[in-house]
Chain A
Amino acid sequence: MKVLVAVKRVIDYNVKVRVKSDNSDVDLTNVKMAMNPFCEIAVEEAVRLKEKGVATEVVVVSIGPKVAQEQIRTALALGADRGILIETEEKLESLTVAKLLKSVVEKEQPQLVLMGKQTIDSDNNQTGQMLGALTGMPQGTFASEVAVEGDKVNVTREIDGGLRTVALNLPAIVTTDLRLNEPRYASLPNIMKAKRKPLDVTTPADLGVEVKSTLSLVKVTPPAERSAGIKVASVDELVEKLKNEAKVL
């Protein structure tokens, strides 16, 4: 079966972001960018499905500026077969992203769509579910285990109280949690090979999707700073401070 994986270019997870001094947004100039960690897990899962003989082709799609090709190439180096970039300089909201992905799903007809549960920039955790609504496919969100069995996929989901397994009719959408797998590293030969794999570039207009925005950013502010604390010398001093100074015990 064909697997479609959606990946996003985001700020590297180790970078501590700074809010611009005019509070218009966070400052992303000259900041290290990378593939969203949850998307890497989605790519890894797709490649493992291919290695198991379950998937026959892995198509990776990204939406973003021209440089997002880097993240598609990374996915190709990890084992995906071909890439699609929907090129746009605009910052898109989840619903628009879901509509763009829907048009790709209609064209490619994948049996399984894998994507991260959230991106670490917007922290929305929406796109997979929205794509499910638009395509009518069932969704297995926050997956820590994916097992394809015939015309169904069993997805074990991480929920607040523990784990829950759902059986979904294929085609289906699965969004990945961190514990689904441990992504591999791309080897140099694979990085070289990835440069020759096909990568199609299209635009939202080509796909007939109108990019419109209903959410406007009023301001972005840094979170409240915590005042510097003190070091205590012993457990007894700690307990005394918690009882008498902080009054939380």
Chain B
Amino acid sequence: MAILVIAEHDNASLKGATLNTVTAATQIGGDVEVLVAGSNCGAAAEAAAKIAGVSKVLVADNAAYEYQLAENMGELVAELGKNYTHILAASTTTGKDFLPRAAALLDVNMLSDIIKVEDAETFARPIYAGNAIATVKSADAIKVMTVRGTAFDAAADTGSAAVEAIDVVKNAGISAFAREELAKSDRPELTAAKIVISGGRGMQNGDNFEMLYKVADKLGAAVGASRAAVDAGFVPNDMQVGQTGKIVAPELYVAVGISGAIQHLAGMKDSKVIVAINKDEEAPIFQVADYGLVADLFEAVPALENAL
């Protein structure tokens, strides 16, 4: 069995989610090869070669893959993927974008967001916003899946795989990158942070998030938000934690002024320790919180900052 993992990267460096995906691949059992498709992506390929458990790194370096447009990536992955029993990518917005396209080109179904490898054909994944776990067996010749990063440990960087350039250029020519606006932050990446502090509608406005940033900086934490806080324009949407935002599972999750709707819980309820600070003692968040503090966040959060 040979397994293909498609690396997530920004050409210059590898994204952490790739390491968790490789761990899932090694649990399936077989040779794990990593595809790095990008433009001037040598540095990312070198990083991929250092991942423990990887036997070979394939590099498709072409301008057509610079922004990993789904139309081009889908064709590339479908073409290379014919030679593998499993194709895996991280369950990020990039992986979710191109992998179903590749699966359909291979005429196979796909499993999204797996959280457990039972055996080479059987995998577990959450459904209904994480309120049920489905164990699914695939009879497809090629098993295609995205991997929930927080459900697998990151692979170590002690490997030394061979790097091989491949000359497969797929340019569908039907889509083009126009522009992007990336949020700038010095704090750790939300999905990889050990501590996450999130604010909800109770924060009342964007300026008040400053209080959470101060606590976060003391803890080395990332800052997240509920959909209500994002929709109200307090913070940008890439901070949203939940069924439709990011899935996090940190050591400590602090929910501030968040009621705890089903859709929010879907994104954070696998956190090791959950703390809720809310003035409404009936808020559903208290049903999942290990430690609950019924208090006005405008007093509790500055007090928390001082206590740290």
Contacts and interface: CB of A to CB of B under 8 A. Distances in A.
Interface string A128-171: 11111110111101101000000000100111111111111100
B264 interface: no
A17 B132 contact: yes
Given A139-B71, A162-B236, A168-B175, A218 B136 contact: yes
A117 B132 CA distance: 20
A162 B102 contact: no
Interface residues of A, number: 79
Contacts of B104: 95, 98, 129-134
A131 B100 CA distance: 9
Nearest to B106: A133
Contact of A121 (B127, B291, B294, B295): B127
A188 interface: no
A248 B251 contact: yes
B293 A138 contact: no
A223 B132 contact: yes
Interface in A1-40: 11, 13-14, 16-17, 19, 26
Contacts of B97: 129, 139, 141-142
A218 B127 contact: no
A162 B246 CA distance: 12
B139 A158 contact: no
A160 B238 contact: yes
Contacts of A231: 281, 286, 291-294
B39 to A, nearest CB: 16
B109 A164 contact: no
Determine chain B's interface SS by DSSP, over half rule: mixed
Contacts of B262: 13-14, 16
B131 A214 contact: no
Nearest to B175: A138
A10 to B, nearest CB: 9
Q: Is the interface of A mostly helix, strand, loop or mixed?
A: mixed
B128 A132 contact: no
A248 B137 contact: no
A13 B262 CA distance: 8
A120 B69 CA distance: 25
A198 interface: no
B9 interface: no
A101 to B, nearest CB: 11
Interface in B181-217: 181-183, 191, 195
Contacts of B99: 129
A249 to B, nearest CB: 7
A122 B127 contact: yes
B52 to A, nearest CB: 25
Nearest to B146: A125
Interface string B154-179: 00000000000000000010111111
- Residue among B102, B178, B274 with most chain A CB within 10 A: B178
A65 interface: no
B116 to A, nearest CB: 11
A69 B98 CA distance: 32
A95 B70 contact: no
13 contacts: A120-B129, A126-B112, A127-B100, A132-B70, A138-B175, A161-B238, A168-B174, A168-B175, A214-B109, A220-B135, A222-B132, A232-B293, A248-B251
Interface of B: 67, 69-71, 74, 78, 92-94, 96-105, 107-113, 122, 126-140, 172, 174-183, 191, 195, 219, 227, 230-231, 236-238, 243-244, 246, 251-252, 262-263, 269, 272-275, 281, 286-295, 300, 303-304, 307-308
Interface of A: 11, 13-14, 16-17, 19, 26, 93-95, 98, 117-118, 120-134, 136-139, 141-142, 144, 154, 157-169, 177-179, 214-223, 226, 228-236, 238-239, 241-242, 246, 248-249
The 10 closest A-B pairs by CB, nearest first: A133-B104, A129-B100, A130-B104, A126-B100, A164-B180, A138-B175, A229-B290, A235-B303, A162-B182, A248-B252
